[in-house]
Amino acid sequence: MSALATPEHDTITVHLDNRTHDIVVSSGWLDRFGEILKSRVAERNVMVFTSPRIGALYYDALERSLSAAGFQKIRRHDIPDGEQNKNLSEFANCCEALVQHFPQSESAPLVVNLGGGVVGDMGGFVAATFLRSGVPYVQVPTTLLGCVDCGVGGKVGVNSKTVKNIIGRFYQPKLVFADLELLRTLPPREIRSGIAEVIKYGVVCDANLFEYLEENMEKLLALDREIIRHVAVECYRIKARVVEADEEDNKGKRNVLNYGHTIGHALEMAADLQMTHGEAICVGMIAANQIALRLGILDQSSADRIRAVIQRAGLPVSAPAFEVSFDRLLESMKHDKKFREGKNLFVLPTGIGAWKPVRDVEMPFIAEAVKSCLQTSGISAR
């Protein structure tokens, strides 16, 4: 991985075998998007996947930039807002929109995903499967979560009715274009949700980033330009390094990115998606810490620091009072992609900036950790 910094923007280049792609981090550059894109792709037709809310804010500016750069046939399809719409039915609608607007294979477009995690995951999966061999796609994240997490790494897909991100594949973008000014229209709850993933990187990947969060959390919540840019670039560099080492998650190195996700994903689905991804992941991180403490691989001081940073971000350390069956949560967790032959795999912190994978954690330890996060909040532990 290499990085080039300038006063105006940062470019992080991700190297994968014989392929590379750039992550361009800027502020107020949406009008330059078409110009930056045209030198990186051969296609001149574009299908933009977005959502009604994001499309109303940014699609016109994106389209003007593409047109000014010489892109020709530009079409738009909206994916309904909300994680509950990241499903096979909406995936089919996206595919049909591509067929309708670009019925001839020789006119196959570039896919541009303008939105958050739902749009990025769904649009990337559509691009990966269209014409069997796939078509190129570009991520233009408009949420902090999309910027630092799901917009990078090539994991694209949809949810089943009961399991998150179980249907999909690995398919890398041609470009990630992160204009941090687009984050300023986010509701506070969505900003906090994205910060959850930033905390994850600090806990298990980079002690310096974690300390930076301890020093600057309030400024990050306010989207201070200098702070958010530093955080976004550091998170991109961390994830690029991990993805370069284990692109398709088959060497064990990419597991680090799943800290908090084994229980968090299950909670997100068991709560019928009423929690944001970041909220559920924070509860999952606290539960993982409980397991690590129980196993004696994490010290109490580090666990306290993690809890304090999560709380300072306005994120939960226990789940909100939804009526969720404890049994349903555990059943959903058993479908996690890291479970093999009935044996689980947990990513557990061993200190700030360090982690280890632990296989086959005893179920009583898991149940104890989950209940410690659920029962205090009124969630039913049936």
- Name which of 149, 152, 141, 43 is nearest 98 in CA terms: 43
Over range 111-120, report the average pLDDT: 96
pLDDT tens column, 61-91: 999 999 999 999 999 999 999 899 999 999 9
pLDDT tens column, 287-326: 999 999 999 999 999 999 999 999 999 999 987 555 667 7
Q: Flag whether the pTM goes above 0.85.
A: yes
Q: Which residues neighbour 57 within 8 Å (Cβ) at sequence distance 6 or greater?
A: 142, 182, 185
Copy the structure tokens of residue 327. 């049994």
Copy the structure tokens of residue 303. 């666990």
Q: Strand 10-16: give its sheet, edge to edge.
A: 2-5, 10-16, 19-26, 175-179, 137-141, 110-115, 46-50, 74-78
- Identify the DSSP state of 86: -
Place of tokens 């196993």: 295
| Structural domains of the chain in order of their starting residue, each with its CATH number | 2-186 (3.40.50.1970), 233-377 (1.20.1090.10)
Over range 133-144, report the average pLDDT: 96
pLDDT tens column, 323-365: 667 777 877 777 666 666 667 889 999 999 999 999 989 988 9
DSSP string across 109-137: PEEEEEESHHHHHHHHHHHHHTTTT---E
Q: How many CA atoms lie within 13 A of 7 on its CB side?
A: 0
Q: Which residues neighbour 228 within 8 Å (Cβ) at sequence distance 6 or greater?
A: 144, 180, 183, 220
